[in-house]
Each structure stands twice: as structure tokens, then as C-alpha cells.
Structure 1
Amino acid sequence: MDRCSLALLAPLLIASTCTHAAGSTDLSVTGLITPGACEPSLSNGGVVEHGKVGMKDLDPDQPTRLENGTLYLDVNCEAATLFTLTTVDNRSGSSAINPTQHGLGIVNDDEKLGSVALGLFDAIADRTAVRTIMSRDDGASWRVSSYLGHAGRTAFAALNAPDTPIAIKKLHARLTAFTTIVRASDLTLTDEIPLDGHITVQLNY
């Protein structure tokens, strides 16, 4: 628990028939006021399930886009709090389509399987529709974007207002996963290959 302490010094007056001396000392009041705790959660246990994808369904000459996966993100704070969202790609270095997206793991020793891009849509903050905004320079500037990933910070702005993050107590948004598999000719397709994307959504405040 954070504490703020204050010390009071009472002067001691000494009478002297010789001289009078005066001195001073500094006093500091320190502490830290923190916002209420926030708790993020994802529907369906945070799992996007694509099921079995037949090798015949993969395009041999260009990447194949799988059906979009949909989850719902909720953030509940004890009080209105200014926060941003980012991600950690737990399969870092395996994104085959775009480095700002998330990887699906490495298969057959050195083959990158594909990428997953995340987007936030239809955001509702404290029962009011808001815009999703993103910053690539640690909050120095913001622009409207649905992007959620490790290459920027995501926040929310009021409609018909500047693209500036607002404090929120309760957030609800649709999280869409756009999964893409590399062209079949880039994979050794002799056995079943598991999709192995693993992403941590981080809330910073």
C-alpha cells in the first residue's frame, strides 16, 4: 500500500546571553496516487478455433485467408481510468505475412506457417460508442485505427472529438482475428500441421 508521510519539526528555542543563531531545513511531502485497478477479459477463454483446414483448401500460389475469428474484449476498472492496450507475440519472429502481426509458429524446423492480425471494432465505453485509435510513437500522436498489436498502443477516443485517449471505467469491444496461411507451395504438407498462435493482450495504465 502506498503511503504519504509528513514530518513536523518543532523548533527548540535556546536563550543565550551571548548570541542568537537561526537555521533552516527542508521538508518534502511525497507519495503516489494510483488509479483503480483494471481487469481485462476475453470471451470463449480467449480461444479462436479454426478447426481443421484441408490442405486442398490452401492456395498453392498465394496466401490463404481463413474465416475471421471473433471474440469480445471487456475491460472493467474500479474507476474511470486512462489506459492503453498492446500485445506480446509469444511466437515472436514467426509472422510470415507482416512483422507487425502475430506469428503462428514454426513448422518443419524452419517454415513460417502464417500470421494473425487483430482488430478492435464496435467499441462501447461506459455505454457510449467510441472510436478506436492507435499510436506508433508511444502516445505522442494518435490516429483512428482498429489495429491491436505489438507495433503500437491502442486507446479509445470520444466521437466527434479530437483523437485523444479518454478515461474509461467499462469497455466492451469486438475483437476480430484475421488469420492468414502462407501459400501451400511454401509448406511441406506431409502431416497434420497445428496452428500455434499465442498472443498476450496487455493493458497499461
Structure 2
Amino acid sequence: MERCSFALLAPLLLVCAPMALASSSTEMSVTGLITPSACTPSLSGGGVVDHGKVTVKDLRPDQPTALENGTLYLEVNCDAATPFTLTTIDNREGTSAIHPNSHGLGVINGDQNLGSVALGLFDTVADGVAVKTIISLNDGATWRVSSYLGHAGQTAFAALNDLGTPIAIKDLRARLTAFTTIVRANDLTLTDEIPIDGYVTVQLNY
């Protein structure tokens, strides 16, 4: 339809306005990256940290309460040694009540943020060798040792003799610890049973 309309209208434009016609254009690029290998992350225990039932009397009235740490194991398996980074997506974005770089636990009673959960990676082994967890807060320009795993930076892994350079890895295993904290009980309306509702996606980029 567009081609037909243009072909019919063009002669009329030439007759009525015998001046030079202007033209304009825009450009489109098609990009992507074909990688020689693929990597798959997985979490033990179905990726669930279950704190069970926490009673009101277990919560401190005037300061945040740290629950018992939760432990999962993170594995990344690649077809070949591959450089990659890890980040997270906080699916309860905006509800972290303790620290903005942690992950939220949801909202109760319509407007009360329940708490936060921070994640850390420890005892990391890459291809059978102990390595250090490192983090970049400036999109990979510089790196430093940190166990942090979250949405505020990129996490990678370094050899013990070169802590500033991420390495390529085929198989990785690390202990993932969840540090869950509930806000002061005095800041919550606790008349009914309420869920601890943290939901985090671990994202692998390579």
C-alpha cells in the first residue's frame, strides 16, 4: 500500500511543485554476540531459604532483628572456560528497609517494609581451585575483594595471586549465605500472621 500510494502521488507532486524534492532517512543497526560457550547457574534446595515461623517475641522491639543465616550453594557450569559476572534483580524492589543495596522482603499492612536480605558468596572454588570473590562498582573499571552479591555491583572471581583481575571459569561452586534482617517490632503492626516475602533473581552475564 505505501509503495502504490507513493507511485501515484509522485507525478502530481512533480507537476504542482516542479522544485527539487527533499529526502530524509534514518538508520537501523542489527547487533548481537555469538558466544562459543554457554553457562548455566543453579542453586541448591530449589533456591529457597526458609526461615520457618518467627514469633513476635523473637523480634527485638527497639532495634532490627537478624534471623538465622540461610545457606544455599550456587553452581555455575559452562561449556568451556568463560569470563562472566553475577548480579541480582530485586523482585521486591523498593522494599529494602535496612540498606538500599540489600534486597527487600515485601510490604505488610499496605505501607510497612518488613526488612532486608543481603547475599554473600563464600568458600568459592573455580575449576577445583580456591578463588576470591571480587566486586566492581564502576562497570568493571576496577575490582576489589568483597563477598557481596547484589544489584549494586558486578561480582566476579579472581585468582589468589591477582585479586584485581576476573578470571575465566568453567565450573564454579560457592556457598551463598542470606543475611535476613527484620525491622524493629515497634515499627510493625503485628496482629496477624505475615509472610517473609523476599524474591531475588541471580543473573549471570557473559
**TM-score scaled by length of structure 1:** 0.84
> What residue in structure 2 maps to residue 177 of structure 1?
178
Gaps of 5+ in 1: 1-30
Structure 1 Cα separation of the partners of residues 154 and 36 of structure 2: 19
Q: Residues 131-150 of structure 1: matches in 2 within 5 Å?
A: 131-150=132-151
* 2:127 maps to 1:119: no
Percentage identity across aligned positions? Answer: 77
Deviation string, structure 1 residues 68-88 (Cα, Å, up to 9, x no partner): 000000000000000000000
* 2:62 maps to 1:58: no
Which residue identity is paired with 1:38? C
> What residue in structure 2 maps to residue 190 of structure 1?
191
Structure 2 Cα separation of the partners of residues 118 and 35 of structure 1: 30
Which residue identity is paired with 1:171? L
Q: Residues 23-172 of structure 1: matches in 2 within 5 Å?
A: 33-172=34-173
Structure 2 Cα separation of the partners of residues 85 and 136 of structure 1: 12
Structure 1 Cα separation of the partners of residues 97 and 33 of structure 2: 44
Structure 2 Cα separation of the partners of residues 115 and 200 of structure 1: 15
Choose 154-163 or 68-77, whichever is displaced more: 154-163
Which residue identity is paired with 1:113? L
How big is the shift at 1:35?
A: 3.2
Structure 1 Cα separation of the partners of residues 119 and 36 of structure 2: 27
- Seen in structure 2, the aligned counterparts of structure 1 residues 33 and 112 have a Cα distance that, compared at 3 Å, is closer
**CA RMSD, aligned part only?**
1.0
Deviation string, structure 1 residues 6-53 (Cα, Å, up to 9, x no partner): xxxxxxxxxxxxxxxxxxxxxxxxx95513000000000000000000
Deviation string, structure 1 residues 71-128 (Cα, Å, up to 9, x no partner): 0000000000000000000000000000000000000000000000000000000000
Partner of 1:36, secondary structure, is coil
Partner of 1:200, secondary structure, is strand
8 Å Cα contact 1:35/1:81 also seen in 2: no
Partner of 1:78, secondary structure, is strand
Which of the pair is proportionally richer in helix?
2
- Seen in structure 2, the aligned counterparts of structure 1 residues 141 and 109 have a Cα distance that, compared at 3 Å, is same
Aligned residues: 175
How big is the shift at 1:162?
A: 3.7
Partner of 1:85, secondary structure, is strand
Gaps of 5+ in 2: 1-31
Partner of 1:188, secondary structure, is coil
Deviating 4+ runs (over 2 angstroms): none
**TM-score scaled by length of structure 2:** 0.84
> What residue in structure 1 maps to residue 28 of structure 2?
none
> What residue in structure 1 maps to residue 16 of structure 2?
none
Partner of 2:131, secondary structure, is strand
Which residue identity is paired with 1:103? G
